[in-house]
Amino acid sequence: MARLAADEGLRERYEELCQTSAPLAASFDVLLEQAPLTRLRNALPAKGLIRRPPWRFTGIAFRELAAGLVIGVLAAGAAIWAASTFGLLDGREDWRTAIAEYTHLYTNETFSPLKPDAAQQAAELNAVGAMVGAKLTPENATLPDLRFASAFMLSYVGSPMGVRAYVDRSGAPVLLCILANGAPDAPTQSERRGDLPLAWWSRNGRSHLIIGHVSEEQAGALAQMIKKQV
């Protein structure tokens, strides 16, 4: 309080925050109604890891400090959630997570019944290629030991994403995704999400991802082959 009395700039800022705390809280209440609370709560540290320092503030100073802390936490949480939701953060990691989650839902019966003829395959590939800025043809979309099943468009946080779906001899799906997100060039990397290996890279403003029920070695080999095709 002594510093508030001596520092006019700090005092003006303090009064401004006091006047705007209610509108800010109301605004964030709207965001919190839409926020994924379960996921946010799971991200918090365990209760046993939280140290609770003794509070030594009383009266109006404590109330205003508490209000400021609550608004600050709400603002930070809502900003991070909104940025992730609306694509304000770098989405290169998140898009792989989203695809992996959807791929776990696919079964051997999802794409194996699809058997497009040459004309339909060419039309689908041409349409997808036009949307993501890549030249896709039946000739450069051929992959060893995999049968082309479909090509279709999706979107991730406003960026067009083309998907080429293949099946192996058992009908298990393998996907090649191309996201036109303006990402800088990056070399091939790989990881495993559960039972699904992933291989990804970026080139010419597009991010590419191979994911499916194949071995990690096969995913890497497919990535190297596709890099030469597209």
Residue 128 CB partners (closer than 8 Å, separation 6+): 136, 151, 152, 153, 162, 163, 164, 178
The residue extents of the domains of the chain are 2-86, 92-229
CA angle, 27 then 31 then 35, to 5°: 160
pLDDT in tens, 39-79: 656 666 555 544 444 444 444 444 443 444 334 434 334 43
pLDDT in tens, 102-128: 899 999 999 999 999 999 999 999 999
Structure tokens at 215: 């071995």
Q: Which of 72-81, 164-173, 206-215 has the lowest mean pLDDT?
A: 72-81
Q: Report the pLDDT value the prediction gives residue 193, as an integer from 0 to 100.
A: 86
* Ordered strands of the 173-179 beta sheet: 147-156, 159-167, 173-179, 206-212, 196-203, 186-193
Q: Report the pLDDT value the prediction gives residue 216, as an integer from 0 to 100.
A: 87
What confidence tier does 9 reach under pLDDT thresholds 50, 70, 90? low
**CA dist 112 → 41, 82, 144, 154, 208 (Å):** 40, 38, 16, 20, 23
Specify the higher pLDDT residue, 188 or 230: 188
Q: Does the pLDDT at position 89 exceed 50?
A: no
What confidence tier does 6 reach under pLDDT thresholds 50, 70, 90? confident
- C-alpha 216/C-alpha 36 separation (Å) is 33
CA dihedral 163, 166, 171, 172 (to 10 degrees): -60
pLDDT, the chain, mean: 76
**Domain 92-229, CATH number (from 3.30.450.20, 3.40.50.720, 3.30.200.100, 3.40.50.300):** 3.30.200.100
Cβ of 122: how many Cβ atoms within 10 Å?
17
Q: Report the pLDDT value the prediction gives residue 92, as an integer from 0 to 100.
A: 46
